[in-house]
Amino acid sequence: MSASFLYALVGIGLFSLSLYGLIVHAHLLRKILALNVMGSSIFLVLVALAKRTNEAPPDAVPHAMVITGIVVAVSATALALTLMLKLTAETGRAELPDDQRESH
């Protein structure tokens, strides 16, 4: 088993766990953390797939995509945390309200 295959496998496992956490937890901070772990696992898979062979240098395009993705993820996390704080200040809870609509 090569190191790049192991990294890709760990990335897939982290993605699965964070998807489970995103679905199960109702608290918004836990959902934001799950999204961050999900993004990091995708970065791990992209870096693992960048290596072609032992002799050829790694592909630079996935590395550039990962660096760009990290910048976007940090700004998206800041926006999500700001929105969560505004929702908490407005409602007093850090959870989204349940939809309990009546069927007509």
Q: How far apart are CA 43 and CA 69, in angstroms?
A: 8
How many domains does the chain divide into? 1
Please provide the DSSP assignment of 14-72 as one string.
Answer: HHHHHHHHHHH--BHHHHHHHHHHHHHHHHHHHHHHH---SSSPPPHHHHHHHHHHHHH
- What is the reported pLDDT for 99? 65
Residue 12: inside a domain? yes
- What is the reported pLDDT for 104? 47
Residue 103: inside a domain? no
- What is the reported pLDDT for 52? 66
For the cut 80, the answer to whether the pLDDT of residue 97 exceeds it is: no
- What is the reported pLDDT for 15? 96
Token pair 């766990």 in the structure block, residue: 17
19-73 pLDDT, tens digit per residue, is 999 999 989 999 999 999 999 999 999 888 887 667 777 778 888 999 999 999 9
Residues of the domain holding 16: 3-91
